[in-house]
Amino acid sequence: MRTLLCDADIPDPVITAINALKIPAVSVKSIPGTADNDAKVVDVANTLDAIIITLDRDYTSQPLFAAMVQKGAKIVRLRPSKCEPYEVIENIASMIIKNHREWQKLLSDSAGVISCSSNGNRLRNLEEFPWYKK
């Protein structure tokens, strides 16, 4: 099972909860040199053969994700439902717990980005990004 490399926007209590369930996860905050350095995060993820987990903020991150996938990254963008602030940690942890096995399968053969929401998982390979050219 691949390690889940959680971006800095994944709350620490989520990582603690999923580790308690024997789902291997680590925060980029615990790895020196990864703060504000996406290239280093990709290098670490590729070295660990890990899946990068991040929260989806908006569509401006798509070019960044495409560049990361081009370097071999396997990424899951969590798109949690709107909820009360006190439910955020539970909502994010629940998404990871329910879907991590499917992510392992979907990203077993190649790099890509999975968008995960309450409606399910959608995998996009590099060729599916509109601006990608070989």
3-state secondary structure of 115: strand
Q: Report how far residue 41's alpha carbon sits from residue 6's, in angstroms, rounded to the nearest whole number.
A: 10
Q: Is the pTM of this model over 0.75?
A: yes
Percentages (nearest 5) of helix, strand, coil residues in the chain: 45, 20, 35
- The region of weakest confidence among 59-63, 109-113, 126-130 is 59-63
Mean pLDDT of 42-53: 96
- Amino acid of residue 48: L
Which has more confidence, 57 or 107? 107
Mean pLDDT of 83-94: 91
Q: Among candidates 72, 75, 41, 31, which has minimal Cα distance to 56?
A: 75
3-state secondary structure of 120: strand
- Domain 4-128 fold is Rossmann fold (3.40.50)
Report domain extents, the chain: 4-128
Q: What is the DSSP string of 46-68?
A: HHHT-EEEEE---GGGHHHHHHH
